[in-house]
Amino acid sequence: MDPIGGNEVRSMNGAKDVEFGVEAYQFGEELHSLMSGPPVTGNSFTALLDLPANQAMELLHSQAVDDSPSELRLKGHCVSHQSPYNHTLNWAPAFPSNTALIERSSKYSIFAAADATVDRVGGGGGGQGSPDSSSMPSNSRANVMKVKSEPADSGSNPNSLPHASGPTINEKQMNRKESGKKGKGSSKRGKTTANDNSEEVEKLPYVHVRARRGQATDSHSLAERARREKINVRLKLLQELVPGCNKISGMALVLDEIINHVQFLQRQVEFLSMRLAAVNSPMEFNVDSLFSAGNGSVTDSIFPSVMPLTWPEVQMNSDRQQWQFDYDKSANSALFHSSQRKMEL
Amino acid sequence: MENVSQDQAKNNQIRWRSAAEQKTYSSKLVEALRHVRRSSPPDNVSSRGRAVREKADKVLAIAAKGRMRWSRAILKKRLKLRLSNHKKAKDRSKLAAAGNSRRKNLKIEVPKKKRLRPLQRRVRVLGRLVPGCRKLSLPNLLEEVTDYIAALEMQVRAMATLTELLTGANAVAGNVAESSNRLEISRQLEHPPQS
């Protein structure tokens, strides 16, 4: 099975190279521009990036690395998946670093080829389904095999790395945030390599979560991270829906806003239903004709942008008793006028 | 899998915003309002108001086609109320003796105060606001709330236009457009075609 896996990986690598040559060009430019930036000395470089020295050295040796985002990301994946390499990479010669990169690149290529699309926002093939999970075990093992048998596969590196940096640029920000956690993660690095490989091979209904740099990689935290991501995605959708939530940061305040909005809407429904109930006119008419005749303008005029501010005012001013009183006197129009006046404000 | 559910959610939102949905909702609502008008006594406005609210919610839940949990919960509420109304008459005698006293004891003995974190508290409040979502986990709850808010907004829009159209031509002319149209409508309302 392993040689077959190796062949798969190799063919996938080739196909991927063809497929993503264009991307490689684009990212190659980006990388070149960034490569001129970082300073020469190892210490300042690492200080700049807040990374341990050995890994920085390893990456300095490698070919197309010196931009911080992709580096962090690479490190992240490096840490979680190839920890045996970390120990040997103190000023290591180019060979092991290249193989580490080859492994990483081949890992990316697996995701890419299995996916056959560029778009892998969900963290390295999150939730992609059967092709991923089925090919993963064979490929993860094939990685090791391939690395040992093809040390000189440096040709594919520049192509695959820039490509790999593409889809995971979305993770880049998250990586930066989470690189602070590397202290905690480093202790768990050593023991969970085998675990990692099997962890990534998650079952179909589960969301594929990639362990990033410096993060704990046991199943509990992975599950928790997946759960948190789900929650954050849904919360973002809600924030877009509720007006004025985009600026607020912090879950508690956002939830407060959402609660207020729901209560506001429910109160509006209550208010409107009272008014509808008080409407005495018979309702034998064709609703369709009413709607076709300029409904859009009516709604627009009823709901100017100022509405959310004015409706609560109307609510507070007229409590239930007042409504009954008004309605009894058929002062429907009076109420209506007052609300209209407020809306005009 | 996550992306699929997101797409579904977005489709739902688009649905709630469409004019067609609002139209169907409004027509169903009018139908329901006619029922309410006929059945309830016209003088008691507050009870009729409540009935209207309930009917509006019910029609909204029907418009949701039972896809989301809150809509199913609203529909279940009506059923439960009706069933309980039937049952109450039978079981009242039984409960009075044994059940009530037991329940009262339980209530007094267990006034536990849960030390909920503020975040968790808000989640609970939100769960209580949305019908049928009291004991829901946070991701599902957020999904329900998203759909519920979209549906509520549509409900408000529909009911507002309906009241606008029904309360007729006395409205402030400047704000509301199509005054000629409204005159026509008010004429229709004053002299409804006897069907």
Question: For all residues of chain A together, what is the average pLDDT?
Answer: 54
Q: What percent of chain A has pLDDT over 70?
A: 19
A243 touches chain B (CB under 8 A): no
Does the pLDDT value for residue A20 go beyond 60?
A: no
Q: What is the model's pLDDT at position A8? A: 46
Enumerate the residues of chain A whose CB falls inside 8 A of the CB of residue B165. Answer: 290, 298
Measured CA to CA, the distance from residue A173 to residue B103 in angstroms comes to 55
List all residues of chain A from 306 to 325 with a beta carbon under 8 Å from chain B: 320, 323-324
Enumerate the residues of chain A whose CB falls inside 8 A of the CB of residue B178. Answer: 293-294, 297-298
Check A328 against B45: CB less than 8 A apart: yes
B41 touches chain A (CB under 8 A): no
Over residues A23-79, the pLDDT tens digits come to 445 555 555 555 554 444 444 544 444 444 455 455 445 544 444 444 444 444 444
Does the pLDDT value for residue A82 go beyond 50?
A: no
Q: Could you tell me which of A259, A268, A340 has the C-alpha nearest to residue B153?
A: A268
Residue indicated by tokens 């490509």: A163
Q: Identify the residue with better confidence: B19 or A209.
A: B19
Over residues A87-140, the pLDDT tens digits come to 444 444 444 455 555 555 555 444 444 444 444 444 433 344 444 444 444 444
Enumerate the residues of chain B whose CB falls inside 8 A of the CB of residue A334. Answer: none
Residues in chain B: 195
Measured CA to CA, the distance from residue B154 to residue B16 in angstroms comes to 6
- Minimal-distance CA residue of chain A relative to B170: A333
Q: What is the model's pLDDT at position A191? A: 42
Enumerate the residues of chain A whose CB falls inside 8 A of the CB of residue B49. Answer: 270, 273-274, 277-278
- Minimal-distance CA residue of chain B relative to A268: B156
B111 touches chain A (CB under 8 A): no
Optimal mutation site among A204, A225, A290, interface B, most CBs of chain B within 10 A: A290
Check B155 against A269: CB less than 8 A apart: yes
As for the ipTM of the complex, it is: 0.71
Measured CA to CA, the distance from residue A163 to residue A116 in angstroms comes to 13
- Mind giving me the DSSP string for chain B? -HHHHHHHHHHHHHHHHSHHHHHHHHHHHHHHHHHHHHHS-SS-HHHHHHHHHHHHHHHHHHHTTT-SHHHHHHHHHHHHHHHHHHHHHHHHHHIIIIIHHHHHHHHHH--------HHHHHHHHHHHHSTT-TT--HHHHHHHHHHHHHHHHHHHHHHHHHHHHHHGGGS-TTTSS-HHHHHHHHHHHHS----
Task: Locate A291 and state its tokens.
Answer: 């709607």
Q: What is the mean pLDDT of residues A148-152?
A: 45
pTM beyond 0.90: no
Check B149 against A238: CB less than 8 A apart: yes
Q: What is the model's pLDDT at position A172? A: 43
Task: Locate A172 and state its tokens.
Answer: 């880049």
The b/e string for A171-183 (b: 16+ C-beta within 10 A; e otherwise) is bbebbbebbeebe
Enumerate the residues of chain A whose CB falls inside 8 A of the CB of residue B161. Answer: 295, 298-299, 302
Q: What is the model's pLDDT at position B72? A: 79
Shortest alpha-carbon distance between residue B194 and chain A (Å)? 8
Over residues A210-229, the pLDDT tens digits come to 666 777 778 889 999 998 89
Does the pLDDT value for residue B46 go beyond 60?
A: yes
Enumerate the residues of chain B whose CB falls inside 8 A of the CB of residue A281. Answer: 166-168, 189-190
B26 touches chain A (CB under 8 A): yes
Q: What is the mean pLDDT of residues B86-98?
A: 65
Q: What is the model's pLDDT at position A264? A: 92
> What backbone torsions phi and psi does residue A121 show, to the nearest 5 degrees?
-65, -30
Q: What percent of chain A has pLDDT over 90?
A: 2
Over residues B76-91, the pLDDT tens digits come to 777 777 777 777 766 6
Check B178 against A276: CB less than 8 A apart: no
Q: Identify the residue with better confidence: A265 or B180.
A: A265
Shortest alpha-carbon distance between residue A145 and chain B (Å)? 32
Q: What is the model's pLDDT at position A186? A: 41
